[in-house]
Each structure stands twice: as C-alpha cells, then as structure tokens.
Structure 1
Amino acid sequence: MTAAVTDALIAFYARCEQLWHTQDYLPQQAFDPEWDSPCFIAEANQPQLLPGHKAWLPIKRDEITSFSNIESALSIELEPQISTFFGAYFSDHMPASFNDEIIELVQVWSEDDSKRLQENIIAHLMMKKTLKQSPTLFIASCADDMQIIALDNVSGEVVREVLGKGIAEVLAPDLATFINQLTPVLLEH
C-alpha cells in the first residue's frame, strides 16, 4: 500500500509540473533563511520570480521519515500510508481540485517543518481522543475552515471531517486512490 502512495505522489507531482510547464509558471516561495528548504532550486535565469522569492520543486527524500515517536508517545499504531504521504518528499503545500472542490494538500517543506507537523499530529490525535472520536490524520485543508480531508487511522480510508464533529463522509478507499483523483491547479496569490 505504501508503494502505491509513493507512485500516486510521483504521478501527482508529474501532473503539477506538466501544468506549470504549460502555463509557463514557476512555483516560488518567499525566501527566509530561517525557513530554508531542500526544495529550493538554484537560481538560473528566472525573470518571473518575485523580489525576495526563490523557485522550488518537490524533491524526493533519501529515506521515508518514521513516525514512531508519535506512536510511542500516544501508544497508537499509525496507518502506514501516512508516513509515506508525509515522509517521501519535501514540498510546499499543493493546491488541487477534488470533485470540483479546491483543496490544499498538506506537505512537508523541511526537516524543521516535519517536526512541527508531528507536533500538530499529536495535538490533533489528542483532541480526537478527548472528543471520543475515531483517530484521523489530516492530509489536506478545505475552503471551509471547519472541514479537513483526513486519513482514517482505523480503516485507512480518506474522509472529509468536520472539526469538532468527526467524520462526515468517505472520499476514497485509500490514500493512493484519493491522490490519483486530484487535478493540480494554480492559485493566484
């Protein structure tokens, strides 16, 4: 299953790069030395860059990050798809269309961001436990701030969740299927 997630991410990033190429678009991020990332690419002749910005591309990590610290801290076994989703690549968050809805895939920008993400996952899982709800792992934000797209840690399904209320609907049987249904989009900033 985790290989399928990696393959789906590779295919999604390829669709993104194809869109960027056809739109003569260069993904860029304001450069802050305190928030550096291996995603930044060498500055060549890139006239479309905004002042103070650098171009970036998703980059495959040398090895998949382990989430065993979360598992041991909370005495929980995490759905294996999540470590591949968050641990296989470094990337900025990725906007996409899913069933005509614009969402933004949460991605990991750097090692520091990976630590921050893991802290947020722990807080989310603790909140779910307090609310006596099934444990979920957020993977995307929605236009409606009260909804997220998450991976159900019990079933492995991708679900829409209403914050504070729990799972509202199942969107896909697994993460690879969900990612394969995404269409990359360009957002105007």
Structure 2
Amino acid sequence: MNHSAALEQFFDRFRHAWQSTHGQLPVTDRDEAGPAAVSEHELGQHWQAVPQQPLGAFSNLEPALELPVHPDLQAFYGHFYGGNLQFDADFGCGELLQPWNQDDFAFLQENLVGHALMKKRLKQPATWFVGVMEQSDAMVVMDNADGSLWLEVPGQEPHQKLADNLSELLGQIAPRVMMPEPAPLPPPRPGFWARLKAMLGDLTGRR
C-alpha cells in the first residue's frame, strides 16, 4: 500500500470511530472555510477529508533550502484537505497535522521551511514535523533522509524511532475521538465606574 492510500485509510478509520462514538462526522474547531467542511457545529465544523486538486507540491521548498525533499512528505501533506487527526499509540497520545485549505497549506510550508532552517543552523539532519504529542513538547517528525518517523523535541535531534515509514506509523496508531474544547470567553468588559476610576488614575498618577 502506498503512503497516501494508508493515510486515506486512516481518515476512514477516524471517521468511523467518530460515527460509532457520537453518531456524527468528526468536529474541528476551525471556523474558516475549507473544502473539507461539511456543516456547522456549536464547537466548530463537521468535516470529511477530500482530495487536494491539484495535489499539493513541495518542489518550491527545494531551491530555498538547497535540499531535496523526501517524497513521503508530499504523500502526507499534499493529498488531502481535512482536520487534524488525534491518535492513541503505545508511545503516547498525539495529533497528526493536516492542511485545512490552500492558505493553510501555504502557512504549513512556511513553518516547515522555518523548521528546516533551524535544523540547518543547529547542524542537525533535516526532519519535517508531521504531528505533535499531547503530554510533552515532542513532535512527530519525518527523517528527510529515509522517511522514517521519530519523536523529536524542538532544538534537539530525534530521540525515539517510531516507524520505518509513514504507512507503518499509520498502522500502529488508533483514532482518538475527542471533541474540541469550547473557545474561552473573552474577559468581561469592566463596568463604567471601574473604567472611569482607571482613567482618572492614569491622569492623576493614582490607582
């Protein structure tokens, strides 16, 4: 099975897990428009992964970084639009990242370039982040040399190998069904007298 097909299969498993648990499609807290958006939800939007048309490309990164990009990065980020994929695994709970729309894909590329430049500055082998862990600062990264997957703390070299390739990683992890947390309410606006007192305090130098 090629890696983009393995990713599509995990999207299907993720959707089925949500439908079995909540009787509905996955929910993301993203509120902007995107090809994967299906309907509104009180916590964001229901979504279902859709193919990118045309496929997302990373060839524009290579001249800027003077570095050939491993093709598995395109298989992971360049084939679908969708929400992030929460997972459970023997190595912990985490979230695989996915582009939500074309602007998000461009933003993702900018951050990947920044990560690659940091690795170059530190004289460390090139890696690409593909996910984040929940209980630590570690990221799930892809080794640009061979496409293997590792845990890596930003600024450090990879320290724990997870899988030889993307398909193997996707076969090891299980979908995690988790509703987005409600957005925090804005702090209450101070009442008129409190605001007046603060303004007078600024003018007189007293609080």
- TM bin (shorter chain): 0.7 to 0.9
How far did residue 14 of structure 1 move? 1.2
Corresponding residue for residue 50 of structure 1 = 42
Show CA shifts across 1:101-131 (max 9, x none): 1110011000000000000000000000011
Aligned length: 179
Counterparts in 2 of 1:96 and 1:31: CA distance versus 1, 3 Å: closer
Is 1:26 aligned with 2:28? no
Counterparts in 2 of 1:64 and 1:19: CA distance versus 1, 3 Å: same
What amino acid is the match of 2:13?
Answer: R
Do 2:93 and 2:135's aligned partners in 1 also have CA atoms closer than 8 Å? no
TM-score, normalized by length of structure 1? 0.88
Identity level (%): 28
How far did residue 84 of structure 1 move? 1.2
Distance in 1 between residues matched to 2:11 and 2:30, nearest whole Å: 22
How far did residue 148 of structure 1 move? 0.5
Do 1:71 and 1:77's aligned partners in 2 also have CA atoms closer than 8 Å? yes
Give the unaligned 5+ runs of structure 1. Answer: 44-48
**Aligned runs of 1:134-145 on 2, under 5 Å?**
134-145=125-136
How far did residue 164 of structure 1 move? 1.2
Distance in 2 between residues matched to 1:175 and 1:93, nearest whole Å: 16
Counterparts in 2 of 1:159 and 1:114: CA distance versus 1, 3 Å: same
What amino acid is the match of 2:6?
Answer: A
Show CA shifts across 1:22-67 (max 9, x none): 11243234564xx310111156xxxxx317x332111112232110
**Aligned runs of 1:100-139 on 2, under 5 Å?**
101-139=92-130
Larger Rg: 2
Structure 2 residue aligned with 1:82, among 66, 69, 73? 73
Q: Which has the higher mean CA deviation after the structures are superposed, 20-29 or 166-175?
A: 20-29
How far did residue 145 of structure 1 move? 4.4
Runs of 4+ in 1 over 4 A off after TM superposition: none
Secondary structure of the structure 2 residue equivalent to 1:141: strand
Secondary structure of the structure 1 residue equivalent to 2:95: strand
Distance in 1 between residues matched to 2:131 and 2:85, nearest whole Å: 9
Secondary structure of the structure 1 residue equivalent to 2:129: strand
Show CA shifts across 1:75-114 (max 9, x none): 1101100011001000111101121511100110000000
**Aligned runs of 1:150-165 on 2, under 5 Å?**
150-165=141-156
Corresponding residue for residue 46 of structure 1 = none
Give the unaligned 5+ runs of structure 2. Answer: 182-207
How far did residue 7 of structure 1 move? 1.3
